[in-house]
Structure 1
Amino acid sequence: MNLRQIEYAVAVADCENFTRAAETCHTVQSALSHQISRLEDELGAPLFERTSRRVRLTPAGRAFLPAARQLLHDAQRVRDEVAAATGQIRGTLSVSVISALTAPDTVALLGEFHRRHPQVDIRLGSGMSEVMLADVREHRVDVAFVGLWPGEDITGLNALLLCDEALVAVLPPAHPLAGAAELSLQSLAAERWVDYTAGCAARRQTDEAFDRAGVVRSVHFEIDHVGLLERIVRQGLAVGMMPAGSVTSLDGIVAVPVSDAPTRCVYCVWARRPTPAAQAFVELVVDAAKEA
């Protein structure tokens, strides 16, 4: 068993396809398949179920994957720690953000980080908070900016609270409720709603707020990105809720405070043992938070 075989197997698990995994690993599919077969022979169990359409992990593969990710992470960490000991920060920095992040300016922070540490390969992505938390725990992402609700589990990670903010109702200017000084969930319940996909953390908290208020609403539009929510509200198709700081720069949308709205907490989260690159970036985030 060697690190290259493990890297190939993890790539196949992530891509669910041998051809795409070979492209990701910059090798040919035949070489990748051969190395994975050798790995499976040594482990004494198949890691993947191969079909004509996709590749799935076997039970043995699911058991293999977390330890394999940790091993690759530790191997890269050894290289990065040695480089850091000689005054070089290098390797990869992977950052993920929620789509409705209002502060800090992640792109500006990454720009400053790049100027200080040009040898680091920077990756930036976005997604849902619960997915990003899992990505940080499993070393797919180094640092994430997530929006969580009071009481949500962030055990096993370092976390810096950046801000907390109540959600506000967002409506088109011509909506009958757009001129109100304040609304309640009761007053909004009869409207058509746009919200995040059912089951995700952001949606659950809004649903729970309506449950506590003892009212039922109807979600007509389900989205996974705040930009689509804005467009739907702007066209008068539905009303929604967003963090107050996200609305200030938007045209064609009116924000109204909601007396019993849920509150979102924005955190920067990273692994308990960050890589040198991740630690250097977190230090920039901490400094920016102190100046805010």
Structure 2
Amino acid sequence: MELRHLQHFVAVAEDQHFTRAAERLMVSQSGLSASIRALERELRAPLFVRTTRRVTLTEAGRALLGEAERILSQVRSAHEAVAAVQGVLRGTLSLGTEQCIAGVHVATLLAAFRRQHPDVEIRLRQAGSVALAEEVAAGRLDLAFAYRTQADNDQLRSVALAGEPPIVLCHPDHRLAAPGAAVTTEDLAGEVFVDFHPDWGPRRTTDAAFSAAGVRRTVALEVNDVHSLLDLVDENLGVAVVPRHFRHKRPSLTALPLKGAAGTAYETVALLPAEQATSPAARALVALLETGGLTPPWDDAEAA
């Protein structure tokens, strides 16, 4: 099995189109088709269902895709490891992050990394923590900054960044808003909630806290970015239970401590593959994070 065959297969799977994949790979369409046919002959199974408009993976193709991505990621890591031994960090750093992660200022960290390692190409993807964990485990991302959503396993490990208690954000005219007040999960029963998509780490943590307290809640207003959530609360359309540092993003809102959610914490982590599969670029980024003190300005205020 040749690596170029796997590269061609992954490209077609991603684009779901032979012509687009051939253009991206800068190979002829006939050469790409021949490469896929050779791989199918070797595996003795069709990998794609071909139509006039697009191609889709067969069951065998879906089984191969994850393994092919991991193999290609390991090959890339091998090349980068050799370059690192020679004193030059090269290649690509593929990073994922959820929005508004406590414990790291991603833009500042990446700027510092680029100054130290200008020969490394940086690629950044923003998504929910569940999807990011899957991407790291599959080898599509070198690492990700996310909220903890699962325990470490053979394919995934984590480095702790920060932990925060929950707060309730509401409009100053809301019935619960009062200086120095605190609310319980029971106080919030029947409220209209604004929250993130279930793929987001904070949403999963909040859902688990209310479930553990035996309080039912319904998320009526579901968003995929922090500013939309804050805008909806700012218009008094609902309340939001979020990590504590979110209060710094909209000081006009009332922030109330949430009581009765014992043990609830929003934990942020750097997710990495198994030690032997971690790329030199990912190791360098984590080392920079651990020594550089590149944390958001609110972290120091919260810790004081």
Amino acid at match of 1:285: L
Q: Describe the shift of the 1:163–1:199 C-alpha distance in structure 2 as closer, same or farther (beyond 3 A).
A: closer
| 2: CA distance, partners of 1:209 / 1:182 | 16
| 2: CA distance, partners of 1:17 / 1:59 | 18
| 2: CA distance, partners of 1:243 / 1:117 | 33
Task: Kindly indicate whether residue 167 of structure 2 is the aligned counterpart of residue 168 of structure 1.
Answer: yes
Do the aligned residues in 2 keep the contact of 1:89 with 1:276 (CA within 8 Å)?
yes
Instruction: State the aligned residue count.
Output: 290
215-224 vs 276-285, which moves further: 215-224
TM-score, normalised relative to structure 1: 0.90
Q: Describe the shift of the 1:23–1:107 C-alpha distance in structure 2 as closer, same or farther (beyond 3 A).
A: farther
Do the aligned residues in 1 keep the contact of 2:102 with 2:162 (CA within 8 Å)?
no
1:114 CA drift (Å): 0.5
1:216 CA drift (Å): 2.0
Amino acid at match of 1:117: H
1:115 CA drift (Å): 0.7
| 1: CA distance, partners of 2:177 / 2:80 | 54
Alignment partner, residue 5 of structure 2: 5
- 1:145 alignment partner, SS class: strand
Amino acid at match of 1:186: E
Do the aligned residues in 2 keep the contact of 1:189 with 1:218 (CA within 8 Å)?
no
Amino acid at match of 1:155: N
Alignment partner, residue 268 of structure 1: 270
Amino acid at match of 2:270: C
Do the aligned residues in 1 keep the contact of 2:129 with 2:199 (CA within 8 Å)?
no
Alignment partner, residue 284 of structure 2: 280
| 2: CA distance, partners of 1:90 / 1:12 | 26
1:97 CA drift (Å): 1.0
Q: Note the residue ranges of structure 1 that are not aligned, 5 or more in a row.
A: none
1:20 CA drift (Å): 4.1
Amino acid at match of 1:281: L
Amino acid at match of 1:209: A
Do the aligned residues in 2 keep the contact of 1:162 with 1:289 (CA within 8 Å)?
no
Q: Describe the shift of the 1:24–1:226 C-alpha distance in structure 2 as closer, same or farther (beyond 3 A).
A: farther
Do the aligned residues in 1 keep the contact of 2:16 with 2:56 (CA within 8 Å)?
yes
| 2: CA distance, partners of 1:282 / 1:16 | 34
Q: Describe the shift of the 1:102–1:198 C-alpha distance in structure 2 as closer, same or farther (beyond 3 A).
A: closer
Alignment partner, residue 179 of structure 1: 178
Task: Kindly indicate whether residue 128 of structure 2 is the aligned counterpart of residue 124 of structure 1.
Answer: no
Within-5 A mapping of 1:1-292: 1-51=1-51, 54-148=54-148, 152-156=150-154, 157-179=156-178, 181-198=181-198, 202-261=202-261, 262-271=264-273, 272-273=275-276, 274-288=278-292
| 2: CA distance, partners of 1:196 / 1:7 | 35
RMSD of the TM alignment (CA)? 2.3
- 2:183 alignment partner, SS class: coil
Do the aligned residues in 1 keep the contact of 2:143 with 2:270 (CA within 8 Å)?
yes
1:37 CA drift (Å): 2.3
1:188 CA drift (Å): 1.2
- 1:115 alignment partner, SS class: helix
Q: 1:67-123: per-residue Cα shift (whole Å, max 9, x none)?
A: 211221222122212211211100000111111313311111111110111010101
Q: Note the residue ranges of structure 2 that are not aligned, 5 or more in a row.
A: none
- 1:248 alignment partner, SS class: helix
Amino acid at match of 1:283: A
1:246 CA drift (Å): 2.2
| 1: CA distance, partners of 2:199 / 2:127 | 15
- 2:140 alignment partner, SS class: coil
| 1: CA distance, partners of 2:16 / 2:258 | 44
1:265 CA drift (Å): 0.7
98-107 vs 10-19, which moves further: 10-19
1:184 CA drift (Å): 0.8
Percent identity for Structure 1 against Structure 2: 36
252-261 vs 14-23, which moves further: 14-23
1:208 CA drift (Å): 2.8
